[in-house]
Amino acid sequence: MGGREETKPQTTTDFCGQSVATRDAYGATLAELGAAHEKIVVLDADLSGSTKTAKFAKLFPERFFNMGISEQDMVGTAAGLALAGKIPFASTFAVFETGRAWEQIRQTICYSHLNVKLCASHSGLTVGEDGASHQALEDIALMRVLPGMTVIVPSDGYETRQVIQAAAAFDGPIYVRLGRAKVPACLPQEYTFEIGKGYSFGIGRDVNIVAIGIMLPMALKAKEMLAQSGIDAGVINMVSVKPLDKELLLEAAQASKFIVTCEEHSVIGGLGSAVAEYLSEQNPVLIKKIGVQDTFGCSGPADELLQLFGLTPESIVETAKAGLAQK
Amino acid sequence: MVYNEEIFVVRKGDPMAAEARKSADVARLREQARKLRIEIVKMLAESGSGHTGGSLSAADIVTALYFYKMRHRVDEPKWPERDRFILSKGHAAPVLYGALALAGYFDKSLLGNLRKIGCPLQGHPSSKLLSGVEVSTGSLGQGLSIANGIALGLKLDKVPARVYCLLGDGETQEGQVWEAAMSAGHYQLDNLCAIVDLNSLQIDGRCEDVMRIDPVGAKWQAFGWNTIEIDGHDMQAIVAALDVAETVRGRPTIILAQTVKGKGVSVFEDKAEYHGVTPNREELAIALKELGE
Ligand SMILES: Cc1ncc(C[n+]2csc(CCOP(=O)(O)OP(=O)(O)O)c2C)c(N)n1
Ligand SMILES: [Mg+2]
């Protein structure tokens, strides 16, 4: 991080079918929403070029507040703006937003249940070369544990745009996890995002893969690969990590009796934990968790890091087969 | 950025204090502060749990805010043009609860249930449970950022309301306070007035021993604030300082109020031990006697 990152001109696309980083879709959508909604204000902590809030800042300078490198103050100021009736979006890297300012988010935003939108970019390993200090692998856990917090992890640009629109319309605190790297489009045109709802790409009889973020296209690839071995795998996009789509999860668990969760996050406290917490009480089935195994990330090109940490379609296939052998 | 370099210091006998004396009913406010202190010691004795020293040290300041300076409507707590008060030192909840009850936000009988299960008067203020509380506080160091955000929002909407934020002196050891101090200076929040309750004590002892915060005035001035130094128990000075703060343009004002922790009750005064200890039966009797109840 630190290099200059270009701000692309404002687009009016819905990003359907486009390969784009979720942070880019965020920046464009925010700019679009800013024009329509006077109440939207945006805060950043000296990373507006990277989080893509710079686009909004350029168009609506009077409604953009650069707070400098002070994440705790940024979160508190966003809370105050919400109290004054604004709809604040506060952005920085996920590790700083949820880590440095966690207690401010807890005490001020969640306890008072304020209408603040925390949209953090640079989550997960795909931060790449900046290394472990900048790769948030704990943010879902940190946000999920907070009472009243909604946690959303979109997978592609098309979904991100809908998520940001829904976040603006929703009254209450919400955390949206965004990424740095370009990701393939995977949600179909007819898809509509709704808080609390997942999306099924077909329920499998042998295994169901529950995935979020960059892991969703990999899960879809794994589904195809498993089909070639005669294994019927389903894929669920669990974009709404909190509230979880329990109905869909239960349906999947009952159909296959075996779930594989996939996330670019620690296997502790994230999507896998959320799924396990629910199913262990409601309908215990075998669950295998793909994610980062209780370790820090490291520097390297994003795609190589994903290989190194086993976040690949191949490892999903392997894990699914191992689980089926165990069943 | 150009700052007005003039620093206001309001003390007894100042012409500005004399002005304020004319406009404010200081005697009425003193009487109101006395009543507030009585409510504070009573609710704390009843509850058997809560923060005595820091509630009593802030009683005069909070009285001047709720019964002199702030424009607020008891029957319309969410009135958009109300002045806002953020109790950043949330452990002093009894001073806020007492003021809200005396102002008529809720019935005084509720005060006796402080910190009891089911009572909206939580150990630290909860905005979700008690109307009149702007935002939940209790974790020190966070209130000024919130006040800044409200001040920014009011400015965007051109609402003439003002924002007041009360901090403890020990509280200013928190790093976030200085992030917020920098932000308020940068955004020239002249609709914001912070007040520091300089009672010289925190939990583990005197601030100067635990972690020196001096020179307080120079620090805030360096962050772009207008500073006003007063005796935080001199009602005339408090009123004058609040009036002056409202006239300052282009930068936020901070009132540095020298106070005595536990003020008003001899057994509690200037004693770190009474930070989080409530009056027992004998102490309550002494307190009520000294407060003229
Ligand atoms: C972040 C945080 N750390 C610690 C505490 C525990 N605590 C409560 S009051 C207090 C001392 C506060 O001293 P000061 O700000 O001077 O308040 P006052 O003297 O007015 O009571 C401490 C350390 C807290 N509430 N919040
Ligand atoms: Mg103190």
pLDDT for B246 beyond 90: yes
Examine the residue annotation and report whether A129 is marked as an active-site residue of this protein: no
Residue A238: per-residue pLDDT: 98
Residue A167: per-residue pLDDT: 98
CA A8 to chain CA mean position, Å: 22
Q: Is residue B28 part of a domain?
A: yes
Q: Is residue B250 part of a domain?
A: yes
Decide: residue A33, CB within 10 A, 0-12 exposed, 13-18 middle, 19+ buried. buried
Ligand 1 centroid to Cα of residue B4, in Å, is 33
Contact B157 A84 (CB under 8 A): yes
Fold classification of A2-183 (topology level): Rossmann fold (3.40.50)
Ligand 2 centroid to Cα of residue B147, in Å, is 20
Domain limits, chain A: 2-183, 199-326
Q: Is residue B243 part of a domain?
A: yes
Residues of A in contact with B187 (CB under 8 A): 65
Q: Into how many domains does chain B fold?
A: 1
Q: Is residue B36 part of a domain?
A: yes
Residue B201 alpha carbon, nearest atom of ligand 1: 19
Residues of B in contact with A104 (CB under 8 A): 142, 145, 176
Domain that holds residue B105: 15-290
Residue range A199-326 in CATH 3.40.50.300 = no
Q: Is residue B164 part of a domain?
A: yes
Closest C-alpha among A286, A279, A296 to residue A258: A286
- When pLDDT is cut at 50, 70 and 90, the band that residue B18 belongs to is low
| Residue B34's CATH number | 3.40.50.970
Residue B262: per-residue pLDDT: 98
Ligand 2 centroid to Cα of residue B167, in Å, is 9
Candidates B136, B142, B153; nearest CB to A76: B142
Tokens of B248: 């300052």
Q: Is residue B138 part of a domain?
A: yes
What mean pLDDT value characterizes chain B?
Answer: 93
Residue B143: per-residue pLDDT: 98
Cα of B173 to nearest chain A Cα, Å: 15
pLDDT < 70 positions in chain A: 1-12
**Which of B60, B61, B140 best tests ligand 1's pocket when mutated (most atoms within 8 Å of CB)?**
B140
Residue B199 alpha carbon, nearest atom of ligand 1: 19
Average pLDDT over residues B41-69: 97
Could you report the per-residue pLDDT of A90-111, keeping only the tens digit for each? 999 999 999 999 999 999 999 9
Residue B115: per-residue pLDDT: 95
Percent of chain A past pLDDT 70, that is, above it, reads 96
Indicate the DSSP class of residue A136: B
Residue nearest to atom 21 of ligand 1 (CA): B54
Contact A153, A175 (CB under 8 A): no
Q: What is the ipTM of this complex?
A: 0.89
Residue B202 alpha carbon, nearest atom of ligand 1: 13
Could you report the per-residue pLDDT of A156-204, keeping only the tens digit for each? 999 999 999 999 999 999 999 999 999 999 999 999 999 999 999 999 9
Ligand 2 centroid to Cα of residue B7, in Å, is 24
Pocket of ligand 1 (CB under 6 A): B 53-54, 57, 89, 91, 138-141, 168-171, 197, 199, 201-203, 261, 275
State the residue for tokens 């206001």: B8
Q: Is residue B237 part of a domain?
A: yes
Task: Specify the length of chain B in residues.
Answer: 293
Tokens of A268: 């502790």
Could you report the per-residue pLDDT of B104-132, keeping only the tens digit for each? 999 999 999 999 999 999 999 999 999 99
Q: Is residue B96 part of a domain?
A: yes
Largest CA distance in chain B: 56
What mean pLDDT value characterizes chain A?
Answer: 96
Q: What is the pTM of this model?
A: 0.91
pLDDT for B23 beyond 60: no
Answer yes or no: same fold for A2-183 and A199-326: yes
